[in-house]
Amino acid sequence: MSRRAAATDMERRAIITGIGVVAPTGIGVREHWEATLEGRTRITPFDAGGVPLRAAGRVDGFRPRDHVKNRLMIQTDKWTWFALAAGRLALDDSGFDPAGRDPYGISVVTASASGGNEFGQREIQALWAKGPEEVSAYQSIGWFYAASTGQLSIRHAFKGHCGVVVADGAGGLDAMGQSLRLLRRGGEAVLVGGTEAPLTPYALVCQADLGRLSPGADPERAYRPFAPDADGYVPGEGGAMMLVEEAASARGRGVRGYAEILGHAATHDAHHHERAAPDGRQYARAAELALERAGLGPEDVDAVFADGAGDPDSDRAEAAALARLLGERASAVPVALPKTMVGRLYSGAGALDTAWAALALHHGVLPPAVGTDPDAGTRGLRIVTEPTAPERLRTVLVLARGAGGFNSALVLGRAPADEEGAEEGGRFNV
């Protein structure tokens, strides 16, 4: 731990001071955390048409009109509605008031694996069924990846760096890493995260292509990463946005925050255009580098939020990576898989896992996985199945991967020590 103090004293620091969640676990950080602690699946039966998939993680009770004005709604896809809703919730939760601040000092970074699926399908359908004059004037701004960042920047008048990250399932975590790099260069805050809306007919056809969707009908059991008989994943929608604030700004308004982003690294397997490298070497290296950049080592990791792909090859590769990283501790370090409650959210996943990890550090409690049976085998990992308060929970490693070989690792630590009068977390205190 001593390495860390030396490494970061002179640096600008990135604190998560606001969390906005729009996910199958709920809308808003309070609802999300309460649902998390209940520890039951939010995956539900799902009719995917001809695609062999029977369960999905949907955001129930999301009324776009509560979050997005009518005029903007018709210009944007559901994935952007999620980002707009989560962005507003994160800002509200942080209590950060942009008024009077330098607008160029506040940046926006979002991640998405596949953009505006429903919007894109609808307009291609209109073009081919009816003709070019039927294509919406908003297709050019609604379908493509830049929409969420652009709309968030416009809504909140943030004029700093605009980032849009696409790296399949690793993108959400890469976006979080980008917030740390941006704040080290300057500025006061970054509104950052990832959302996804992949449960539309054409998007599902595309997802089925890899053959990794679970055919399971039982929402509790369809997605069970690291089980010896795991047979794929269940996709989900939603994600999270966070306000990541430079430490001096947070301290200046008496806010301690949920957690600190200490380090990030990304690597690529460069192994196969679709499959992960079985040896987990580059994946482990991403985690080692992220820890090194945080001034930490593998011995400091108190818990891991794993990627948990849910297909045997990818699970084996992740277990191999964790064994490389943690050595003998690989079977002892708790592995949190709360994503088993919601399914895989692609670029929403890295952001939602970061939110979960920040909340875990804040509350001192690791969230549970559902549907896993430790007695049936977990590829040697210690999966957390009940809300658990470990003796030591200071440093958490969050991992994510993307199809084709993307690896991403983020290291979070407890928020900086209490200052006089500093509020715990944002406005949300359980």
Shortest Cβ 72–other proteins spacing (Å): 10
From the list 161, 221, 339, 414, which residue makes contact with other proteins (rule: CB under 8 A)? 161
Give the residue, chosen from 7, 37, 73, 127, that forms a contact with other proteins under the rule CB under 8 A.
Answer: 127
Shortest Å, Cβ 286 to other proteins:
9
Residue (of 240, 126, 147) closest to 191 by Cα position? 240
Cα dihedral: 246, 250, 252, 255 (round 10): -170
Q: Contacting other proteins (CB under 8 A), which of 11, 66, 274, 373?
A: 274
Q: Are 135 and 119 in contact (CB under 8 A)?
A: no
Question: 324 Cβ partners below 8 Å, 6+ apart?
Answer: 280, 281, 284
Beta carbons of 11 and 253 less than 8 angstroms apart: no
Q: Does 171 bind other proteins (CB under 8 A)?
A: yes
Give 167 or 259: the residue with its C-beta nearer to other proteins: 167
> Which of 16, 113, 322, 349 is close enough to bind other proteins by CB under 8 A?
113
- Binding to other proteins, residues 340-359 (CB under 8 A): 346
Neighbours of 370 (CB within 10 A): 22
Residue 79 touches other proteins, criterion: CB under 8 A:
no
149 binds other proteins (CB under 8 A): yes
Q: Does 49 bind other proteins (CB under 8 A)?
A: yes
Cα angle value 170/171/176 (rounded, 5°): 105
Pick the binder of other proteins from 62, 81, 145, 258 (CB under 8 A).
145
The only residue of 31, 44, 73, 136 in contact with other proteins, by rule CB under 8 A: 136
Query: Where in 349-408 is the site for other proteins (CB under 8 A)?
Result: 402-406
Separation between Cα atoms, residue 144 and residue 302, nearest integer Å: 39
- Which one of residues 61, 100, 131, 421 is an interface residue with other proteins (CB under 8 A)? 131
Query: For residue 273, what is the enclosing H or E element?
Result: none
Residue 56 lies near other proteins (rule: CB under 8 A): no
User: Does residue 266 bind other proteins (CB under 8 A)?
Assistant: yes
Dmax of the chain from CA atoms? 66
Q: Could you tell me which of 155, 154, 149, 144 has the C-alpha nearest to residue 182?
A: 149
Helix (H, G, I), strand (E, B) or coil at 58: coil
Question: Among 25, 94, 151, 314, which residue sits at the site for other proteins (rule: CB under 8 A)?
Answer: 151
CB of 163 to other proteins, least distance (A): 7
Taking the C-alpha atoms of residue 139 and residue 231, their distance in angstroms, rounded to an integer, is 37
156 binds other proteins (CB under 8 A): yes
Considering only the stretches 33-41, 261-269, 362-370, 378-386, report the one whose residues sit in contact with other proteins under the rule CB under 8 A: 261-269
Please return the burial class of 196, using the count of CB atoms within 10 Å of its CB with bins 0-12, 13-18 and 19+: buried
Q: Which stretch binds other proteins (CB under 8 A): 22-30, 106-114, 319-327, 412-420?
A: 106-114
Single out the residue of 44, 125, 385, 388 in contact with other proteins (rule: CB under 8 A): 125
Q: Kindly report the number of other CB atoms within 10 A of residue 56's CB atom.
A: 25
What the block records as the tokens of 113 is 């694996």
In the bound state with other proteins, the residue whose beta carbon lies nearer, of 24 and 142, is: 142
Complex with other proteins: residue 149 or 378, whichever CB lies closer: 149
Size of interface with other proteins, in residues (CB under 8 A): 82
SS3 334: strand
Taking the least distance from each CB to other proteins, the nearer of 145 and 223 is 145
Taking the C-alpha atoms of residue 323 and residue 347, their distance in angstroms, rounded to an integer, is 25
CA distances to 21, 23, 65, 308, 317 from 61, rounded to whole Å, are 13, 10, 11, 27, 37
Nearer to other proteins, 12 or 271 (CB): 271
Span 286-345, contacts to other proteins by CB under 8 A: none
